[in-house]
Each structure stands twice: as C-alpha cells, then as structure tokens.
Amino acid sequence: MKIGYARVSTTDQNLEIQLQELKKAGCEKIYKEKVSGTHLKRPELLRMLDHLRKDDQVIVWKLDRLARSTRDLLAICDQIAESKANFRSLSETWADTTTPGGKMILTVFAGIAEFERELIVERTSSGRQAAQKRGVRFGRPPKLDSNQIGAIKSLLEKGNSVKEVAKIFKAHPATIYRFLTK
C-alpha cells in the first residue's frame, strides 16, 4: 500500500499542494498534520509508523515535511525499514528505498551521521578529561563544605544522632552518611 504523509508547520498553512501530489503518486491513505517538525510528538507520524506493514511504501512530497535533520530522517527511515516497508520522496528522487541507488544513498547518509555522532562523543570525552585535569568538578556542587563536615563529625562524636545533625544542617540523613564514608 502507498501511504502518504503530509505536514505543515502552522495551522494557517495549507496542506493542499502536498495532498494533490500524494494522491497523484497513488497514495491510498494519507496521514495529515499541522504541527511544527521540531516537535518530537507528532501523533499522525507515530500512528503511521505504527500501522506500517511489510511492502508498504511511505511517500512524502518533500523530505523537510518528514524530518528536520539528517539524523531525524535516518531515524524515521530506520523505523520504516524495521517494518519491512519502503520510503520515497517525490521531490528528492534520490531518497527512494525502493531502488538500489536510493538504498545506497541513505546507507551512506547513515554512515556519515554515525561518524559525526562518534566524533561528537570523542570530542566531548576529550574535553571532559582535559577539564578534569585542570581541576574542574562535574556534577552538583557539594551540599556541605569542609568546615561543615568537621562540625558534623564533631557533633556525631558528642553523641548527636545522624537525624539530628541532618536537621541542623538542613540536609538529608543520606547526605550526612555520604560524607562520613569519605
């Protein structure tokens, strides 16, 4: 079955051109949405992806109607492929997984996107390690400073309970225990 997906970003935009082109392409069912592509929750897109069957073909007028980035496009195409369905864009003829060339191009894009993700992870990791060597601490700032920790230990040695000490320092008892084990 040929299934169309049409989307416009705002309610005052019109779906008519997309609907005409999708009908001309032979779409038997068309999912329509009036929501920004930046929204992660696009109910009609999700409904369409849930209803895909083997050998269905998802058709869009233009790629930007389906996805806002290469990463989004590849993620959606992966979901389509998991359903054993195909994908085709009417305006970008190279984006057609029903042809060997279209499959190859999307595979190359997927490889480039994966490479880019790995580079980002590598740069982030290197930056984090360099910052740690410079003494930068990551995570939440400590609840208590060294003077407070000394006072806590002193109060506990004098017989105060952890619960009492936690109340004095406006901290959770688990916080007090955490500093005792350091």
Of 140 and 16, the one with more pLDDT? 16
Q: Is the pLDDT of residue 133 over 90?
A: yes
Domain holding 56, by residue range, is 2-110
Question: Is residue 124 domain-resident?
Answer: no
Q: What percentage of residues in the chain have a pLDDT greater than 90?
A: 45
Does 141 reside within a domain? no
Q: Mean pLDDT throughout 125-152?
A: 88
The pLDDT score that the predictor gives to residue 21 is 95
Domain count, the chain: 2
Q: Which is higher by pLDDT, 88 or 115?
A: 88
Question: From CA 8, how far away is CA 36, in angstroms rounded?
Answer: 7
**Mean pLDDT, range 62-81, rounded to an integer:** 87
38 pLDDT higher than 90: no
73 and 150 within one domain: no
State the catalytic residue, choosing from 9, 146, 154, 161.
Answer: 9
- The answer to whether the predicted template modeling score (pTM) of the entire model surpasses 0.75 is no
What φ, ψ does residue 168 adopt, rounded to 5°? -60, -40
In the Cβ-directed half-sphere of 78, how many Cα atoms lie within 13 Å?
11
**Does residue 115 form part of some domain?**
no
Q: What is the DSSP letter of 23?
A: H
Is residue 136 one of the residues assigned to a domain? Answer: no
User: Residues 6 or more apart from 2 whose CB is under 8 A from it?
Assistant: 25, 26, 27, 28, 56, 57, 59
Which positions ≥6 away from 113 have C-beta within 8 Å? 70, 71, 74
Query: Among the three residues 84, 110, 136, which one is the final residue of a domain in this structure?
Result: 110
Q: What is the pLDDT of residue 140?
A: 83
161 has catalytic annotation: no
**Mean per-residue pLDDT, 19-39:** 90
- What number of helices (H) and strands (E) belong to the chain? 7, 4
Per-chain mean pLDDT for the chain: 89
Task: State the average pLDDT over residues 9-19.
Answer: 84
Q: Do 42 and 23 touch, CB atoms closer than 8 A?
A: no
Going by C-beta distance under 8 Å and a sequence separation of 6 or more, which residues neighbour residue 48?
3, 5, 31, 58
The CATH number linked to 45 is 3.40.50.1390
Confidence of residue 39 (pLDDT cuts 50, 70, 90): low
Indicate whether 20 pLDDT > 80: yes
With respect to residue 122, please indicate whether it lies within any of the assigned structural domains.
no
Q: How confident is the model at residue 73 (pLDDT cuts 50, 70, 90)?
A: confident
CA 31, distance to chain mean position in Å, is 22
Mean pLDDT of 65-69: 84
Does 121 map to a domain? no
Taking every pair of C-alpha atoms in the chain, what is the biggest distance, in angstroms?
85
